[in-house]
Amino acid sequence: MPQFNHPLMYNNFSKSDVNCVIKFLKNNNILTQNKKVYEFEKKWSQWLGVKYSVFVNSGASANLISINIIKILKGSGGEIIVPSLTWSSDIYSLIHCGFKPVFVDINLESLSASTDQILKKISKKTKAVFITHAQGFSGLTNKLIKALKKKKIILIEDVCESHGAKHGEKKLGTYGKMSNFSFYYAHHMSTIEGGMICTNEKKIYNLARILRSHGLARELKNKNLEKKIIKKYPELSPQFIFLYPGYNMRNTEIGAVLGLSQLKRLNANNQKRTENFEFFLKHLDSRFFFKNFNLKGSSNYAFPIILKKKNIKVRNFLEKIMNKNNIEFRRGNAGGGNQLRQPYLKGIIKWNVKDFKNVELVHHCGYYIGNFPNLKKNKIIKICKILNQIEKFK
């Protein structure tokens, strides 16, 4: 009898994806950023419901470019409010750009930043709120959207783990001044490595394009604007005018070809993942595991597993069960748990454990395991039976 095995991700690239790349390689010799990248950006914008998108080499790069844009628009210094459960690049992009991260606790129902805590920590120094939609859940509330609009505070959305999730009738990533996506291997869709910056503002779109490609003015692709810039700097070569200290964060034609192929089945795959998650929760033992997630508008990325109470001995027993049955897991959920505990913030941020009760529970006793479109229900039942063995702990 074959040994039980459940990886974080399985079969994220189809034969059709591979065939699309092979066909492209046979007929094209320009593999760096070119026509397919622009086509993918256009198709992604249409799918999401925004005017502009900029394809970059990772979600982390999307974060860094977005925060640089805030720096250009609003100046350096000041504070940006962030959740304590997020990916590290959300935080160190602020530090690199000279902003102070101000952390808030999360709601267990959404694994996202507490609206009440965000509003409580807004000050005269606040330049933006950088919210993370973790693991397919929406971190937005009408109360937050209304308050930020009234206070004229910029909202940035990290949607790296929540492709297709919604708040109300609109997809996440359409509410903020900017939104960032990741196309890493294990996410809803993949371009191997890759990310996207999305916006409805032409100025932000232009800045993102420039910063993506070394800060070059020629990346504007706007002849009238380029003529003005060339006229302003007559002593410079028109092809080499560096407007800002930018980066090389471009992606490739191969990544775009993969993105275009995977985008065709994204909606269908998201539906399967959501159905899997609902089925998973149905069979998980509510005596031991938190199950009261807000599923409205969600687009599940991975199965979250959170113990109801912090108990390290029980946690260790659960890990032993998962390891024994070859269930691959990541402790701490998004980004490994509470970012405030990470070494890169030592000496930068002071915090009190009592103020971060929910993220501390997730940090010590929370996990995620794989959920992928072709996951069969009988395997989900087996996974839940294995996890429910936690009742045997003595």
Residue 2 has pLDDT above 70, yes or no: no
Q: What is the pLDDT of residue 355?
A: 96
Report the candidate in 113, 42, 101 with the shortest Cα–Cα distance to residue 70: 101
pLDDT band at 11 (very low <50, low <70, confident <90, very high): confident
- In contact, 193 and 57? CB cutoff 8 Å: yes
For the record, the structure tokens of 277 come out as 């998650």
Residue 194 has pLDDT above 90, yes or no: yes
State the amino acid at position 27 in one-letter form: N
Torsion of CA 189, 191, 195, 199, to 10 degrees: -70
Mean pLDDT across the chain: 95
Query: pTM for this one?
Result: 0.95
For the record, the structure tokens of 328 come out as 């691959």
pLDDT tens profile 208-262: 999 999 999 999 878 888 999 999 999 999 999 999 999 999 999 999 999 999 9
Task: Output DSSP code: residue 51.
Answer: S
pLDDT band at 12 (very low <50, low <70, confident <90, very high): confident
342/62 Cα distance (integer angstroms) = 22
Secondary-structure breakdown of the chain: helix, strand, coil percentages, each rounded to the nearest 5: 45, 20, 35
pLDDT band at 357 (very low <50, low <70, confident <90, very high): very high
355-389: b (≥16 Cβ within 10 Å) or e:
ebebbbbbbbbbbbbbbbbebeeeebebbbebbbb
3-state secondary structure of 306: strand
For the chain, count helices (H), then strands (E): 13, 14
198/205 Cα distance (integer angstroms) = 8
For the record, the structure tokens of 150 come out as 């009234």
167: how many CB neighbours lie within 10 A of its CB?
Answer: 21
**How would you class 352 by CB atoms within 10 Å of its CB: exposed for 0-12, middle for 13-18, buried for 19 or more?**
exposed
pLDDT tens profile 90-126: 999 999 999 999 999 999 999 999 999 999 999 999 9
159/48 Cα distance (integer angstroms) = 11
pLDDT tens profile 308-339: 999 999 999 999 999 999 999 999 998 899 99
Q: What is the pLDDT of residue 139?
A: 97
For the record, the structure tokens of 312 come out as 């390290």
CATH topology of domain 266-392: Aspartate Aminotransferase, domain 1 (3.90.1150)
- What residues does 155 pair with on adjacent strands? 129
3-state secondary structure of 281: helix
Q: Tell me where in the chain the CATH 3.40.640.10 domain(s) lie.
A: 15-263
- As a CATH number, domain 15-263 is 3.40.640.10
- In contact, 382 and 4? CB cutoff 8 Å: yes
The pair phi, psi for residue 42, each rounded to 5°, is: -65, -45
Report the candidate in 317, 353, 318, 316 with the shortest Cα–Cα distance to residue 338: 353
Long-range contacts at 217-223 (CB < 8 A, ≥ 24 apart)? 217/241, 217/242, 217/243
For the record, the structure tokens of 120 come out as 């409580």
DSSP string, 315-357: HHHHHHHHHHTTB-EEETTGGGSBGGGSGGGTTT----GGGGH
- In contact, 65 and 211? CB cutoff 8 Å: yes
Q: Tell me where in the chain the CATH 3.90.1150.10 domain(s) lie.
A: 266-392
DSSP string, 170-215: EETTSSSSEEEEE--TTSSS--SS-EEEEES-HHHHHHHHHHHBTT
